[in-house]
Every structure is written in structure tokens, then in C-alpha cells.
Structure 1
Amino acid sequence: MRIAFPFSAIVGQDDMKLAMLIAAIDPGISGVMVFGDRGTGKSTAVRGLAALLPPLEAVKSCLYHCDPLADKSACATDCTHRGAGKVTQVETIATPVVDFPLGATEDRVVGALDLERALTQGEKHFEPGLLARAHRGFLYIDEINLLEDHLVDLLLDVAASGENVVEREGLSVRHPARFVLIGSGNPEEGELRPQLLDRFGLSVDVKTPDTLALRVEVVRRRDAFDRDAAGFAKRQAREEAKVRDQIIAARARLMDIETPDTALEWASKLCMAVGVDGLRGELTLIRAARAVAALKGGTKVEERHLRGVAVMALRHRLRRNPLDETGSSTRIERAIADLFGA
């Protein structure tokens, strides 16, 4: 089994790491979009997070690894969890993290008829696709801005409904497909469709390190990992366990985090000041701040939590202003300073 570079050993890129931790704590944040230069650790961070995440309890032998505590009516039409009187057997699985290849066919994404079984046994059997594998986990799309339009449309439908419906070749299958979407891409290679970008809860920019000490440390750690991956991972195991424990504790605290009216007013004032369309910006801002409060061991959402996630929650939701040459991040930071002080 290939060893992933430890998430806790990634140097710099604090915004990217925080955004991914927020998504791990509260999957309802919808997803994380990471824009940046090549070779800045985007894929490394995703694969490191996958190895770090705590395991899940799932229905044993279920193709969709359904939650054994969930309502059976929400399961797939062919899930073993369904059926009156059945005793549900449970197994522990790793949190799914599925790579979405750019060249994937629609059948591979949504699932299709198992042709081999149909030809050899004469049975119609559904072969689940990538969306089924990603249920209750993460779906990672590298170079997402190069994804074909028909696959983008498909992702939009599933992301909005939380389920995948396949009706073709005599099959009629409906199964849950709720996952955190993580995308990465280089803006120079093309823009992301606004409809898809809006589905990401958080958006961050990653840059190539611009200080000598930081670049040297990144190279030193990566070189040590390439020389002895197992040894490097073993030395980093304590830090990995610490981050994993923080995620577990934050998930447990999340529902008890208080959100005072002052925090709601702060979020709405900021969204109004920068001209965010709709209310998704406020909702995401509050959810992200609540997750950060849980991660930091707080009991309620405070202004510092909102400030820490404001840019990543709102930067991709701003309307372009041709008369303002400043970037969206700068506009948000300027609005924060004007409204609430430096």
C-alpha cells in the first residue's frame, strides 16, 4: 500500500489545510476549491487528509457503505440495509476518498449495467460508479476546470439532490450520493463554470512559497519522505494522531457551538458590504466559523472565527467589478477593515 505524505507535515499553505479540516469536521460545508500554481501541494494535501481521517461505521457488504444509524428509507433501492425485520450487520471502513479522472465516462461516474453478469448469468445487476464509492466521503477532482460540460452538469444535479438516479438499459436505481467535493486547478488553464464554483463552500488560493527558509523546509521534508516514506511517516505519527483527535473532538462539539445574533449580524453586514448574491455566502460563513470554533475548542462563534474564514467563504461569490482592479480577497479584507476595524 502506497504511503501518503503526512497531512501534518505539510509546511505553509495554512488556508488550504484549514479549509480541508473544516470540510472534514462539517461535511455540510459542501466542498473546497483550491486554485494555485503547479507543484504547490494541492494533491498532496488531499491524499494526506484521506490517510488522516477517522474510520466510519457502515452497513456490512453494502455497495454504498450506508450509515447503519440512518433511516432505511434513505438507502439505495438495492441496499442490504433495507427490508423489514433484517438485523443490520456493521463493519468499520476507511473514510472514502475517491479520485475522479478527467477522462472518466458517464457510465463510470454514475454506474451502469454489469455486462459480464448479464451475459453469463442473464441477470440485470447494477455496477455502482464513482459517485456511489464517494458516498459519505470525499470526491477529489484534479484540474476540475478542464472537466467536460456534461460531467459538470451531472455533478451539479447530484450535488443539489444528494442522490444519484440511474434509469437506463432496463435498470432503475436510486442511491444516496452525499460527499464533500474537493477540486483543484490552475486558473491559467481555464476558468471554472460559475454554477459549479458556487457549489463549493470554500475557495482558497495557494501560492509558491516566496521565502527562502520556507522553500528549503518544504524541499527538506519532501526529500526525506522520498528517501524513506515509512520512516518519515513513523516520525510524524504522533502529529498525525493529534490532528485526527482534533477532528474527532471537533465533530463531537460541533452541534453544541453557540451562534449568537451578533455573529449572524456580522456575517450579513459583510456579505452586504461586498455584494454577495443570495444567502449561501452567509450560511457558509457561519458554518465554517462554527467548525473553526469547534476545532479551536471554543463554545461559541466569535468575531475572530468569522474573520479567519471570511475570505475563503466569500471570495468566489463576488461579482466582478471592472472598475476595481483589486482581487476578491483584497476587497473582502478591505470591507472587514471598514466595517469592523483592523
Structure 2
Amino acid sequence: MLSRKVLMLAGSIAVVGANALTLSPIAGAVAASFPGVDAPGVMKAAAVYGLATAVGSLLWAPAIDRIGQRRGLLRALAALVAALAVSAGAPSLPVLCLGQALAGLAAGCALPAIYALSARIAEKGRESETLGIVLTGWTVSLVAGVGLSALVADLAHWRLVFAGLAVAAAWLARGVGRNRDWDLPVLPARPSSPLSALRVRGMVPALVVVAVYMTAFYGLYAYLGPHLTGVLRLPTASAGLAPAAYGLGFGLAAFMDRLLDRHGAVAAAPLAFLGLVLVYAGLAAASGQAAVLIAMCLAWGLANHVGLNLIVGRLTALNPARRGAVMGLYGTVTYLAASAGAFFYRPLSSDILSR
């Protein structure tokens, strides 16, 4: 199952995810290179990245259905290389924001292409297992990517973080470029509205599920660190155990994905989402105990992996001929939900932190 193609797709997610997640732990080091800029100011680049990813998913992803999924991923990775190079050499914060905006646009096309390709190359009856392995790229980006980025920024320079990611993206682009058998344009070369996939049967209710699911995740994740360091007064290094535990659980859940293929998504979904509800309840109950809360993050990663597999698997099956457009809307809703989660959870977090 660990074919070279599957590993390349997982690696592509890892590079995209590492760039998306790495700015937070190295923000202080980046700020030191720009006079008059502090760490919160640097995080403006992360906000720009998220907005650009939502826009890129909406505008660029539908083109995947016309030019082919491999070509879409190849072009997105090439654009990501350029964006990371700009970020690595940025002489000022505005230029860094520009680099991250380009990276977001590239990610908005890359992620839908990756998910569409994972559905295309999967063996019959092993779709969930294949997608689960591809999704472990997020674990690599969270556990290894973020940790190594902080280490490199501390021991050498933060610019080497983006330079290293650019090299990795270029290597992956080279590999994707060689796999010409992935090409399968399925729609005629005609323009279509970025919102045309809304007409796909089942799309709207699926996107409602995505919006609720992602708002809950990103809203809690955004303020988990401040809660650990502020309310529970953990040192930053110890607070980092929470995302590490989450990432570990997310990766370990890949071994459960074959059960989804065996029993079917219809049978598995009620149990999976009930389990996720119980995990969120457990996280709330453990909010005053750091060790238990960090341990619950492991279960959170397990449950979220299964839930994400079910959601993405459902979306890629809605209309195979329009997977690019479908997954583009998924990406747009995901990153808008990330912003919504941070916005709507902030009053709750502020109230708890002020006590």
C-alpha cells in the first residue's frame, strides 16, 4: 500500500502543512530580522496565507478538472517553490506576506489535487486506507515539520526553514512531473463558475458538515496553546506536547482506516462522529488538568483523522468528473471555517483567560 505515488502525495501534504503551521513557533525569530516588527505582527503573514488558500481553492481548483489532476498538482508545487523562495529571502514583513499569499494560492490548488489523486490511484476497496496514508502527511508536518523548523530557526536561521521547504517542494514537483500516467482530464476545456460544484448532488449538506467540523477544530486548536500557557501556566515547551500528542494520534489512526473500507462509511460515520463528540466533551472536562488534557489530545487526533477521512472520502465520491471543483469548495469552506473558529471562540477564550 505504501507505493511511491501514495508517499509522494503524503509528502506534498507534509510540505504544504509545514509551511502553514511553521510560522507560529518561529515568529519571534522572524520578527528579530525586521526592525519595528514583533511576533504578533509576523503572524499577519499567517492570516494572509489562510485567506489566500481559501481564494486559491475557490478560483484555481476547478481548473484541475480541465487540465488533469497531475498537472494541477505539478503547477501548484512549482508555484509553491517560488513562494517559499520569496519567503526565505524576504527583506521585510510585506514581502514575507506576499510570499505567504502566493503560497496560499498554491496550497489552494495543491490540496484539492492531492485529495483527488488519492481517490484516483486507490485500489478498489482500499480507498479509505489509501486516503488515510495520504492524510498522515499532516502528522509529518505537525510533529516533524514544526519541531524541526523551530530547531533550525534556533540553531541556524529562520530563512533556512523556508529554503528547506522550497527544496522539498521542488523535489516533489520533479517526482510528480515524471508520473505522466496520472494524467486524466475528465472535462472539456471550457470555463465554468468556481461555484458550479454546488450543483453536485449532496454537495451543500456535505459542506455544512465541513463548516461545522472545521469551525470546532480550528476554534479549539487556536486557543489551546494560550489556555495551557495562560490558565494552566505551563512553560511553552510543555505546552508543545499538546499538538505533538494530537499529531501522534492523527498518525496512529491510519491503522484504523482499513476498517472503514471493510464496514463502509455509512456504518462507520455515526460511531466515528459520536466518538468525536465524546472526545470534545472529554477535552472540556479535562480543561483544568494539564496532563489529562494533553492525553486527551491524543484521542482527539485519532477521532479527527477518522472524521476527516470520512468527510474527504465522501466528497471525492460525489462526482469523480468534478473532483477538482468539489475539493476546491471543500478547501474554501475549511479555511473560512478556520477564521470563523478563531473569531467566534475568542470571546470564550478571553473570558476564561481573564478569570
TM-score by length of 2: 0.23
Structure with the largest fraction of strand: 1
TM-score by length of 1: 0.23
Structure with higher Rg: it is 1
Q: Larger relative CO (CA 8 A, sep 6+): 1 or 2? A: 2
Structure with the largest fraction of helix: 2
